[in-house]
Chain A
């Protein structure tokens, strides 16, 4: 299967609200992975383009190959443990408290090359993650360990699992189909300590733009920004956005107090 055929197939058959629909795409992802030339051909034809990977928001050896309204197809390269470069969310040797992360999207992934990363997967309750504050306890299930070796497929459902990724023994490549579910209330990513069973952080992966807007809003005229910030802090569906708006409000109020017009 060629990359364009895979994208067209997903476009036509994917129901982003259904995990079963994502899982049903496994044969097509395998068929794409069985094509041992498509990724090299993609690179050979695009590396010299001035727009190569322009708009790719990901750090760390991740290439966006295409996508549609609710999904993206990526190739991710996993660097071996001894490599001087580091990748986000990958375990580093001697880390005393490894942190697992959830995904705000479903991930169907295929081991395309190399021995692949090992991952410890923990089940978690999405409702509990939504309700807890950072520092509060989170119940995680016992870890299941998997290796994304060449030809293997793993599925990480959105919100329901947290996992730690360990760097592979050698350079490895995975193909990802990521699917964004339609419920924006779920667009947060969480970080948890399996050892301490504690929520250690929450970010706003899909709505990072919102945080940028709020950071910049601190410098706007307060008579215009305060009513809007107050509304966001009270009613925005995402907790991280509400909390960030509340903090921004505090900063704006402090500025008014200490810098009278």
Chain B
């Protein structure tokens, strides 16, 4: 049953290529799952197993975290941290138990989410008290949701729409940082950094491939790695990076070329 529900959600996610479709086609499945009692039954089975000394989680058969997105449980308490974090994917946030308030902020104007702009401050939309079974939706980058209280959240996130997400100062709501949208993107950067220490010029092809990655942090690390390994195509990668869509990559590439020459 859990596997069927999971695959139904994943199939719905795969066909939702816009936020509007995400809300229209994924949300009904999510609401149905939230209200079906399946998650509670799986959690009780897990508790029963734990009482028997095992920690295998049945609920993990339902949850996932991969390229398609993620479905996960977040127990409270949800406290106010200094920094609010946005999301690189569209989200559905449902309350399974307890009580929380959700304050939603929204970026009123378009902006490239891959380029941090500290004056691009989201505006408050509303604050709602969620009760069991309630669901709110949040568009990738555009909506920022601040959850507070003690409740169990079931969160479904789509695949990554933007490879980066923003962090905001909770008090001023000014954007203060840019982060990889997923842990996987961070690992790519770390893996390229590791390769730069132990690889050789023959490893250039992987740098060439990742220099075209959608995430600017991955692109730039791939170029740095190609340069560190003295790959034959390193200079061409840097010359191309001078025209990169991301200003930080352009700036770093320009500086590197100046130093090189």
Q: Are A232 and B195 in contact (CB under 8 A)?
A: no
Per the bound structure, the CA–CA distance linking A45 and B96 in Å amounts to 42
Q: What sequence of 0s and 1s flags, for each residue 202-218 of chain B, a beta carbon within 8 Å of any chain A beta carbon?
A: 01011001100000000
Tell me which of A47, A171, A236 contacts B53 (CB under 8 A). Answer: A236
> Is A53 touching B55 in the complex (CB atoms < 8 A)?
no
A54-B184, A61-B190 given as contacts; is B195 within 8 A of A40 (CB)? yes
Cβ A236 vs Cβ B50 within 8 A: yes
Q: Is B192 an interface residue (CB 8 A)?
A: yes
Give Cα A217–Cα B48 distance, bound, in whole angstroms: 11
> For residue B152, which residues in chain A have a CB less than 8 angstroms away from its CB?
216, 218-219
Residues of B within 8 A of A39 (CB): 194, 198
- Please encode chain A, from 70 to 91, with 1 for each CB lying within 8 Å of some chain B CB and 0 for all others: 0000010100000000000000
Among B206-235, those with CB < 8 Å from A are 206, 209-210
Residue A229 at the B interface, CB < 8 A? Answer: yes
- Asked if B206 and A48 sit within 8 Å, CB to CB, the answer is yes
Establish whether residues A219 and B192, one from each chain, have CB atoms under 8 Å apart when the complex forms. Answer: no
The answer to whether B98 touches A53 (Cβ under 8 A) is no
**Chain A min CB distance to B194 (Å):** 5
**Do the beta carbons of A209 and B195 come within 8 Å of each other?**
no
Contacts of A213 in B (CB 8 A): 43, 46-47, 50, 55, 57, 59
Contact B55 A219 (CB under 8 A): no
Q: 0/1 per residue, A31-57, Cβ < 8 Å to B?
A: 000001101100110011011111010
B contact residues around A225 at 8 Å (CB)? 44, 47
Give the residues in chain B near A220, CB-CB below 8 Å. Answer: 40, 43-44, 47, 97
Q: Which one, A47, A51, A212, A214, contacts B192 given CB within 8 A? A: A47
A108 at interface by CB-CB < 8 Å: no
Which 10 pairs across A and B sit closest by C-beta, in order of nearness? A219-B97, A215-B75, A219-B152, A40-B199, A231-B51, A210-B55, A228-B47, A43-B195, A44-B206, A44-B203
Given contacts A173-B198, A210-B55, 16 further A-B pairs with CB under 8 A are A39-B198, A40-B195, A44-B195, A44-B203, A47-B188, A47-B210, A63-B187, A63-B191, A114-B197, A171-B197, A217-B43, A220-B43, A220-B47, A231-B51, A236-B50, A236-B53
